[in-house]
Structure 1
Amino acid sequence: MTRPPLRVGNASGFYGDRFDALREMLTGGGLDILTGDYLAELTMLILGRDRLKDPARGYARTFLRQLEECLGLARERGVRIVANAGGLNPAGLADAVRELAGRLGVPARVAHVEGDDLGARFPGALTAHAYLGGAGIAACLNAGADVVVTGRVTDAALVTGPAAAHFGWRDDAYDRLAGAVVAGHVLECGTQATGGNYAFFAEHDPAALRRPGFPLAEIHEDGSAVITKHPGTGGFVDVGTVTAQLLYETSGARYAGPDVTARLDTAVLTADGPDRVRITGVRGEAPPPTLKVGLNRLGGHRNEVVFVLTGLDIEAKAALVRAQIGDALDRAGSRPADVRWELARTDRADAATEETASALLRLVVRDADADAVGRALSGAAIELALGSYPGFHVTAPPGKGAPYGVFEAAYVDRATVEHVAVLPGGERTPVTTAADTRVL
């Protein structure tokens, strides 16, 4: 028996995206699943620093505030919510959602997915998380979860998991899973699929782009999908916007992930009416035997000063301040390990205003020692105020510097990663797919 299409919406493309999007998607039209993508490499670093301050943190707290407004609404409309807002602490977020549901009097069944945290294998990293697939999400939904929160899964897993659960796909249904991966990849960045950040935006009505609506996908049992948005919302969906997002952050025809390797060169995009684009023909291959692991570590400390150079002799002014800062740091005995200068010639000849007559000289320093990029640098810059180039000033007072992070990728044998679905009743269910056990 053919199952009806699954309508999957997106309400977040990053941690800090439009707060009202969850409500907009729930009230704008019919949905079965509403997803939220809150994680990126930088987000994992931010959450890692949050966890250093408080081990009970490490998840996207904005998601909880959105649920406080919308959990009852989702329940009323029969929409299940799947989000990777759990970040470094999906169990903690699941507990917080249960507490919220109890306080609101909403009978929500909450589950979560874990197993992505590989910190024990990478002791030098602030965060170390494998990119899991959608099978754990599917297990949670099949167990009746109304809300599923995860840690680090692939962005597309937020769609492949619900699709596999809805249609009962086997884990080797590679063509169908690949179609869901493509749909998930189009949805994952929110309004980038509906005209946001679109190179050819000028060819469209500017009014439509003031507040683009968030996208949704109608996924069919054969893995095909239609990308669209709720009626009456801003933005636009056409073959161009979908193509642009489909190619976003991809590097070849084979788009490898933990669920399937999607062949992007087989996807066929066709217009299917106003604000509707149909994706068909996507072929899939077995996923790779390894899982990608995102590693964040603290690289040291960073500081920045931007000098404003106005009027004549811009190059000479830049040379003077560079020499002066270098001398001051040498005298202080605290020259940072990495010193970079960049002159941006934003100035114009015969400019009408001081701002348009000015160039920007940016100094960025990095060092493992916070003191080397802190007071020594800020003092050297400020002490030049009356003894440097004419018109000396900076865009902002130099501060004490801040830690910065470094992202790296590693790969591990997927069979060594324990992918676990923690069901609404608390049962811990290991998730194993054919790809986890095959011999190559």
Structure 2
Amino acid sequence: MRHRPIRIANFSGYFGDRFTAIDEVLAGDPVDVLVGDYLAEITLAALSARYLRDPSTGYVEYFLDQLKPHLASIAERGIKLVTNAGGFHPEALAEAVRTLADEASAPLRVAYVAGDNLLDQLPALAAAGHELPNLDTGAPLASWDAKPIAANAYLGGWGIAAALEAGADIVVCGRVTDASLTVGPAAWWHGWQRTDWDALAGAVAAGHIIECGAHATGGNFSGFTEIPAMTTPGFPIAEIAADGSSVITKHARDDGAVTVDTVTAQLVYEIQGPYYRNPDVTVRLDSLELTQLAPDRVQLTGTTGTAPPETTKVALFAPIGYHVVHTVYVTAPNVPEKIELLRTQLTSMLPDGVDELSVTGLGTAAADPAAQWEATVPVRIMAVAREREPLARLHLASKAGSLYLSSIPGFYTDVATSASTQPRPRIEYWPALLPLTEVPHRVGLPDGDTVDIAAPPTAEVLSQPHHPEPTEEPRSTGPVHRLPLGTLAHARSGDKGGNSNVGVWVSDPQAWPWLRELLSTAELRRLLPECKDLTIERHEFPRLRAVHFVLRGLLGQGGSSNNRVDQIGKAIGEYLRAKHVLIPEELLSGRERDHGTD
């Protein structure tokens, strides 16, 4: 057990994050551990198809290319590194890292965490009576009209802690939770016990904040115009103390900023409510407090936790068909009528076996365009089929091109780009639940031994708290102005399977009562007509001055298979901020008032 806080630096928020990340982090401030997250749900879907074709792969080779130049430096500086880039085959990635380390003469001990890959165990689990019910619908897995090609349970951080305790310098994992990459090193460093719920909860909160890289330093932040240097926002650092409290900061040399608002943005991202369930602990996100200690230093205190539920999530993926996409451009006027004629004409050309055609206009032409592009609306065309052959026969781009002289005026494609011609697989997602005791969480140690990690003490599932809807219209004693919600409020949205979530908050404590009263579920349905028939869950975070919504089913069966253009709901928050609402004048500055209407 060490007395000073552990300094954990993120170097990846997703598969495809900046290739230079490890270079940047090693050139920055001193840290104890590097953590890299690569496995978004949509990334797992893509890796699953590749793993099916070649079971010797299934890990993120991009990570190896990033790591290779730095192995000697990591060894010399005594830095630990933990990543979930192992994907479907962490043992193979561990061996690849050992080979690179040997070639670099870097004395690094490599371990792996596995057991999450349950695909081969599905028949035995079913025979034992485990229905693997859908997390959202409760339907048993047997009712799914698809054959899984991947089934990965979400593991906690204690396998990582065991690997580090055994002397590992690098730990590669499969599908541990994103926050577990931080929890494991913090538990190892501070010598925590399995029932140190509040400390573990604090580490999960810190891990959730830094897991998405530059999200915590201004990336994807609705207040990005307030951050002076945003060209290359740096990667965050969590300084986690022995009691689980933490300070979120960044490398001093890097762009971006760490503020209460950038941290809040990540706290409300991709959650299901105030109770954040992790395989190691259930976190009470509504208990934590944020304090700006200094520039680029935000403190988290007060996070509390209880035992985790007895089940963990299992991410299952299955191929359900193919799709092909093509984009054309339509010019005003009469854009709706033009799109409708295109839809009718293309539908008449569909061969047998094509199940669905969606034709979606993206945006609205200006009423009096100042340039041609203000009169232009992109139109996205997607065709879907169970089998690949009908889409290959369709030749969607050619079919659209055959209409140039027989369809609408002002219709064209961008000839400088390549047309999308090859059908691509559609992978559907099934989030299931399985008792933690059924997941064989194990660690391959540097000396070749393996260690089994026991399931943690568990408790009943805590239902998300119920917060009464506002009963009054937003109150104001003076004039109001009709302005975009984003004039005062920040927002961040994301995905959890077929659900989208959106958190909305205000920086000004005086604006919190107004926001809380404004954003009822009924008002959200009015502002977002796409959600009018959905089940919506509403939560409040008074300490964060935030209202949070879960939009159930907005993303269909998940980002890897739905037909939305914004497949994983990343733009819902900004869309909501663009909506006009009545804002009391007393909450506005003079400049903001000048842009509104009474």
Given that 2:347 and 2:357 are in contact with CA atoms closer than 8 Å, whether structure 1 keeps it comes out as: no
1:154 aligns with 2:177: yes
Partner of 1:387: 406
Decide which moves more: 117-126 or 85-94. Answer: 117-126
1:376 aligns with 2:370: no
Decide which moves more: 338-347 or 36-45. Answer: 338-347
1:181 aligns with 2:199: no
Match of 1:423 among 438, 445, 467: 445
Given that 2:353 and 2:386 are in contact with CA atoms closer than 8 Å, whether structure 1 keeps it comes out as: no
Q: For each residue in 1:35-65, what CA deviation from the matched residue of structure 2 results, as whole angstroms up to 9, or x when unmatched? A: 0001111111221122233221111111111
Identity rate, percent: 43
Q: Quote the Cα distance in structure 2 between the aligned partners of 1:353 and 1:397.
A: 26
TM-score by length of 2: 0.70
Partner of 2:246: 225
Change (3 A) 1:398 1:111: closer
User: Does the residue aligned with 2:400 lie in a helix, a strand or coil?
Assistant: helix
| 1:364 positional shift | 1.5
Q: Quote the Cα distance in structure 1 between the aligned partners of 2:319 and 2:297.
A: 44
Q: Quote the Cα distance in structure 2 between the aligned partners of 1:77 and 1:258.
A: 32
The residue identity in structure 2 corresponding to 1:116 is: D
Q: Quote the Cα distance in structure 1 between the aligned partners of 2:118 and 2:244.
A: 32
Q: Quote the Cα distance in structure 2 between the aligned partners of 1:319 and 1:431.
A: 58
Given that 2:113 and 2:441 are in contact with CA atoms closer than 8 Å, whether structure 1 keeps it comes out as: yes
| 1:234 positional shift | 1.0
Partner of 1:321: 342
Q: Quote the Cα distance in structure 1 between the aligned partners of 2:400 and 2:272.
A: 43
User: Does the residue aligned with 1:337 lie in a helix, a strand or coil?
Assistant: strand
1:22 aligns with 2:22: yes
Q: Quote the Cα distance in structure 1 between the aligned partners of 2:116 and 2:317.
A: 14
Over aligned residue pairs, what C-alpha RMSD do you find?
1.9
The residue identity in structure 2 corresponding to 1:223 is: G
| 1:189 positional shift | 0.4
1:264 aligns with 2:282: no
Partner of 2:507: none
| 1:381 positional shift | 2.3
Given that 2:165 and 2:188 are in contact with CA atoms closer than 8 Å, whether structure 1 keeps it comes out as: yes
Matches within 5 A, 1:27-426: 27-122=27-122, 124-205=147-228, 208-329=229-350, 332=351, 334=352, 336-378=354-396, 379-395=398-414, 397-426=419-448
Change (3 A) 1:325 1:93: same
Decide which moves more: 338-347 or 136-145. Answer: 338-347
User: Does the residue aligned with 1:28 lie in a helix, a strand or coil?
Assistant: coil
| 1:338 positional shift | 1.9
TM-score by length of 1: 0.94
Count of matched residue pairs = 434
| 1:345 positional shift | 4.2
| 1:200 positional shift | 1.5
Given that 2:218 and 2:227 are in contact with CA atoms closer than 8 Å, whether structure 1 keeps it comes out as: no
Given that 2:310 and 2:460 are in contact with CA atoms closer than 8 Å, whether structure 1 keeps it comes out as: no
Q: Quote the Cα distance in structure 1 between the aligned partners of 2:372 and 2:300.
A: 52
Given that 1:171 and 1:433 are in contact with CA atoms closer than 8 Å, whether structure 2 keeps it comes out as: no
Decide which moves more: 196-205 or 414-423. Answer: 196-205
| 1:291 positional shift | 0.8
| 1:195 positional shift | 0.9
| 1:2 positional shift | 5.7
| 1:408 positional shift | 1.9
Change (3 A) 1:99 1:387: same
| 1:85 positional shift | 0.6
Given that 1:422 and 1:428 are in contact with CA atoms closer than 8 Å, whether structure 2 keeps it comes out as: yes
Change (3 A) 1:439 1:250: closer
Q: For each residue in 1:96-120, what CA deviation from the matched residue of structure 2 results, as whole angstroms up to 9, or x when unmatched? A: 0000011111011000000000112
Q: For each residue in 1:143-185, what CA deviation from the matched residue of structure 2 results, as whole angstroms up to 9, or x when unmatched? A: 0000000000001100110111111111111011001001100
Decide which moves more: 189-198 or 121-130. Answer: 121-130
| 1:281 positional shift | 1.2
| 1:273 positional shift | 1.4
Decide which moves more: 223-232 or 142-151. Answer: 223-232
| 1:28 positional shift | 0.8
| 1:290 positional shift | 0.3
Q: Quote the Cα distance in structure 1 between the aligned partners of 2:413 and 2:460.
A: 61
Q: For each residue in 1:276-313, what CA deviation from the matched residue of structure 2 results, as whole angstroms up to 9, or x when unmatched? A: 01111111100000010011211210112323222433
The residue identity in structure 2 corresponding to 1:71 is: L
| 1:359 positional shift | 2.1
| 1:251 positional shift | 2.1
Q: Quote the Cα distance in structure 1 between the aligned partners of 2:436 and 2:105.
A: 40
Note the residue ranges of structure 2 that are not aligned, 5 or more in a row: 124-146, 462-598
Given that 1:134 and 1:160 are in contact with CA atoms closer than 8 Å, whether structure 2 keeps it comes out as: yes
Given that 1:386 and 1:392 are in contact with CA atoms closer than 8 Å, whether structure 2 keeps it comes out as: no
The residue identity in structure 2 corresponding to 1:191 is: A
Decide which moves more: 355-364 or 148-157. Answer: 355-364
Change (3 A) 1:345 1:245: closer
Q: Quote the Cα distance in structure 2 between the aligned partners of 1:261 and 1:144.
A: 29
Note the residue ranges of structure 1 that are not aligned, 5 or more in a row: none
Q: Quote the Cα distance in structure 2 between the aligned partners of 1:312 and 1:335.
A: 35
Given that 1:303 and 1:402 are in contact with CA atoms closer than 8 Å, whether structure 2 keeps it comes out as: yes
Q: Quote the Cα distance in structure 2 between the aligned partners of 1:335 and 1:310.
A: 32
Bigger relative contact order (CA 8 A; separation at least 6): 1
User: Does the residue aligned with 1:68 lie in a helix, a strand or coil?
Assistant: helix
Q: Quote the Cα distance in structure 2 between the aligned partners of 1:236 and 1:244.
A: 13
Q: For each residue in 1:10-34, what CA deviation from the matched residue of structure 2 results, as whole angstroms up to 9, or x when unmatched? A: 0000011111111211221111111
Change (3 A) 1:347 1:105: same
Given that 2:179 and 2:211 are in contact with CA atoms closer than 8 Å, whether structure 1 keeps it comes out as: yes
Q: Quote the Cα distance in structure 1 between the aligned partners of 2:456 and 2:51.
A: 35
| 1:230 positional shift | 1.5
User: Does the residue aligned with 1:287 lie in a helix, a strand or coil?
Assistant: coil
1:4 aligns with 2:4: yes
Q: Quote the Cα distance in structure 2 between the aligned partners of 1:400 and 1:382.
A: 16
| 1:266 positional shift | 1.1
Change (3 A) 1:122 1:352: farther
User: Does the residue aligned with 2:317 lie in a helix, a strand or coil?
Assistant: strand
The residue identity in structure 2 corresponding to 1:170 is: Q
Q: Quote the Cα distance in structure 2 between the aligned partners of 1:212 and 1:140.
A: 32
Given that 1:179 and 1:225 are in contact with CA atoms closer than 8 Å, whether structure 2 keeps it comes out as: yes
Partner of 2:530: none
Q: Quote the Cα distance in structure 2 between the aligned partners of 1:434 and 1:356.
A: 58
